[in-house]
C-alpha cells in the first residue's frame, strides 16, 4: 500500500485496491500493517508475503515517509527495520508511541544486538526478529501485535465512553 493523498492503496489478498477511509477498517477483520524498511527488495518481499496472507499494507522506505502519512493511527501493527537511515527504528518507535499509541511494533534487524532488542521490548515492541525472517514467526508476531492494538483501542474507547454511559444511566 502506498500513500496517495488521503487514499491508501492496499494489496490485501494480492489484489491492489484503493481504500478511501482507512478508519473504516475497525469494522472488518483485515489487519492493517505498515512496513517501514529501506531495503526495497526486502520491502517488496514483505509486501508480497503479507498481501497474500490477507493483510492491508503500507509500504514505506523511511521513518520520515511513515511520519508523513495523513493518518498513521489506521495501522494496528508496524513492522520497522531497526537500521533505517536518518531516523533509526528506535527513534521512530519513540515518535510512534507518542502519536500512534494503539499501534504495535515488530522490529526486524539484520544485525542481532541484544541491547537494542531489550531496549525496543522495554519501550513496548511486540517482537524483535532477526533477518532472514521466518514467515510463520513474522505472521504470528503481526497477529499478536494487531490483537494487542485492538485491545488497547477498545479499552481506550470504553474508558472515553464511560462518562457518557453514566450520564445516560447505562
Identify the residue whose cell numbers are 483501542.
153
Task: Report the pLDDT value the prediction gives residue 76, as an integer from 0 to 100.
Answer: 96
Do residues 8 and 74 lie in contact, with contact meaning Cβ atoms separated by under 8 Å? Answer: yes
For residue 167, give the C-alpha cell.
450520564
Segment 113-151, tens digit of pLDDT: 889 999 999 999 999 999 999 999 999 999 999 999 999
Residue 169's pLDDT band, with cuts at 50, 70 and 90, is low
For the whole model, what pTM was predicted? 0.80
| CATH code where residue 41 lies | 3.40.50.2300
Which range in 13-27, 80-94, 155-169 is most confidently predicted, on average pLDDT? 80-94
Segment 57-113, tens digit of pLDDT: 999 999 999 999 998 999 999 999 999 999 999 999 999 999 998 999 999 999 878
Per DSSP bridges, beta strands 127-130 and 104-109 are parallel
List Cβ neighbours of 161 (8 Å cut-off, separation of 6 or more).
none
8 versus 151: the higher-pLDDT residue is 151
Q: How many domains does the chain have?
A: 1
Do residues 72 and 80 lie in contact, with contact meaning Cβ atoms separated by under 8 Å? Answer: no
Amino acid at each position: 500500500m502506498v500513500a496517495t493523498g488521503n487514499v491508501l492503496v492496499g494489496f490485501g489478498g494480492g489484489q491492489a485496491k484503493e481504500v478511501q477511509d482507512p478508519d473504516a477498517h475497525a469494522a472488518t477483520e483485515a489487519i492493517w500493517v505498515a512496513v517501514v524498511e529501506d531495503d526495497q527488495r526486502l520491502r517488496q518481499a514483505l509486501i508480497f508475503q503479507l498481501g497474500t496472507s490477507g493483510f492491508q499494507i503500507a509500504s514505506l522506505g523511511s521513518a520520515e515517509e511513515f511520519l508523513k502519512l495523513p493518518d498513521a493511527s489506521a495501522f494496528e501493527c508496524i513492522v520497522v527495520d531497526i537500521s533505517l537511515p536518518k531516523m533509526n527504528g528506535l527513534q521512530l518507535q519513540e515518535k510512534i508511541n507518542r502519536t500512534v499509541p494503539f499501534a504495535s511494533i515488530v522490529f526486524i534487524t539484520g544485525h542481532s544486538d541484544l541491547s537494542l532488542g531489550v531496549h525496543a521490548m522495554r519501550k513496548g515492541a511486540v517482537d524483535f526478529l532477526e533477518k532472514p525472517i521466518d514467515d510463520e514467526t513474522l505472521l504470528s508476531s503481526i497477529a499478536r501485535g494487531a490483537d494487542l492494538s485492538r485491545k488497547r483501542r477498545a479499552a481506550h474507547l470504553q474508558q472515553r465512553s464511560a462518562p457518557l454511559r453514566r450520564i445516560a444511566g447505562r
